[in-house]
Amino acid sequence: MSGKAFLLVFILASSLSFLLEEALELLDFKSRKKNGGTVPKELFGYVDSKLLKKTAAYEDENYRLSVPARILSFILSLVLVLSGYYVAVYRQLSLATGNIYLTAILFFLLASLPETLLSIPFAFKREFDIERRYGFSNMTLGMWILDGLKALVLELVIFCPLILLAVFLLLYLPGGWWILLSAVYIAFSLALGFLYPVLIAPIFNKFTPLEMQELKGRLEALLDKTGFQSQGIFVMDASRRSRHSNAYFTGFGKNKRVVLFDTLLDQLSVDETESVLAHELGHYKLNHVIRRLAAAIPLTVLFLLAVSMAVKIPSLYTSFGFAPETSIVLDGERRAETVLPYIHFIGVFLCGLVAAPFSPLFSLVSNFFSRRDEFQADAFSAETCGRSRSLVTALIKLHKENLSELTPPKLYSVFKYSHPPLLERIRALGKAGQP
C-alpha cells in the first residue's frame, strides 16, 4: 500500500458514513413531517393524531439535537487524525512513562477522551431537557454524575486487563497472538454474560423478586412450559431514572434471570406481560442467542486475523503520522519490511479507527438477522400463549408510552432498526393464525 492509503480510506469512509447517516436521518425527519399525524388503519382506536404529533415532536427534538452532535463528532474525528493528536499523545506517554503497558492504557484512555468530552453536553441536554419535558426522565444531577463515574470505573476494571494482556501477546507472540486473544476475548465475553446479572447490573439498579401473585403464577407457568430454568423473575427499579419500559432475560447457566422494568408492569395487563415474556423466551427456545454467538466467534477470529496482518504494515502507521521502527524479513524470495512489535498496539488502535466508519454496513447485515429473529420470537409468543392479540396490544402500548416512531421509512428502518417497525410486526402477527 502507498504511504497514505490507510489515511485516505479513513477519510473517505468517514465522510461517506457521515453523509449516509445525515441522509437517513433527514429522510426520517421529512417522513415525519409528511405522515407524522396520520393514523394507520391497523391502529384505529389505539392511537390518535394528537399522540402521533407528540411522538413526531419528540423524535424531531432528538433529531435536531443529534445533527450538531454528529457534525461536531465527524469534524473532531478528522481533526484528531490530521492534527497529529494521536501521534503526540503516544510520543509524550512513551517519554513520560518508559513503560509500554502503562503507555498503552493511558493512550487508549486519552485517545477516547475528546469524543467522550464532546458527548457530555449533548447527553446532558437530552436527559435534563428533552427527556424531562416529555415526561420520561426522573434522573437527578447527582444520580447522572454517579452513573457516569460508575460506568467509567467499570470500563477501566473490565478493559484494562484486556489491554495489558493484548500488549503482552503482541510483544511476545507476534505471529499468533490473534489466536490466543480471540480465545480469551470469547471466554471473557461469556464470563461477563454469566456475571452480569449478579455483579454488574446491581451496581446501577435494584432488583427485587416479582411479588404480584397472579402475574407471578402466570409467568412461572410460562417458564415451566418453555423449559426455561432461571434464578427467578425480578423487577428492576427503572422508574428511578426513566419512564421508558422494557423486559429481558440475561445471564448464562444458573445465573439466567428474567427482568421486568417496574414501568412495564404499570403499563401492561397480565395477558400482555405474559405475551412479552413469551417473546423474550422465544429468543431462548429458538436458539437465537446461541446462533448470534456462533456467528460472532468466527467473525471475531477473522477480524483479529486481519488486524494481525495489518499491524505489520509500515504504511498503516506512516499514513497517520507515526514513524515506527521496522525490520526486513524474508517472505519466500521476496524481502518485506515489517513493523517491530513494540508499537503493534498502536496498529490495533489504527485498525479500529479505519474500520469504525464501516459500521453502517455491519449494522445493515446485523439488523437483517435481528429483525428476522424478532419476527420468529413474535410468532413463538403467539403460538405459546395461544393468542396474538395481547402481544399486539402490548407492542402498541409500549410504542405509545415510549413515544416510539410508528411508521419510519423502509430504507431508514433497514439501516437503523434492529427490531421490525410496529406495523410490520402487527401484520406478521395477523398472519400467525392466532386470535
Question: What is the set of active-site residues?
Answer: 280, 378
Q: What is the maximal distance between C-alpha atoms in the chain?
A: 76
Q: What is the number of alpha carbons within 13 Å of residue 327 lying toward its C-beta? A: 7
Question: What are 373's strand-pairing partners?
Answer: none
What one-character DSSP code corresponds to residue 326?
Answer: E
Question: What are 247's strand-pairing partners?
Answer: 260
User: How far is Cα 416 from Cα 32, in angstroms, rounded to an integer?
Assistant: 16
Q: How far is CA 171 from CA 69, 233, 394, in A?
A: 38, 47, 54
Alpha helices for 98-240 (secondary structure H): 100-125, 131-133, 141-172, 177-195, 201-204, 213-226
Q: Which residues contact 88 (CB under 8 A, 6 or more apart)?
A: none
In the chain, the amino acid numbered 75 is: I
Evaluate whether 247 touches 276 at the Cβ level (below 8 Å): yes
3-state secondary structure 308-324: HHHCCCHHHHHCCCCCC
Evaluate whether 233 touches 219 at the Cβ level (below 8 Å): yes
Q: How far is CA 286 from CA 96, 329, 372, in A?
A: 54, 50, 12
**Terminal C-alpha separation, the chain:** 61
User: How far is Cα 241 from Cα 128, in angstroms, rounded to an integer?
Assistant: 11
User: How far is Cα 342 from Cα 246, in angstroms, rounded to an integer?
Assistant: 46
Evaluate whether 228 touches 281 at the Cβ level (below 8 Å): yes
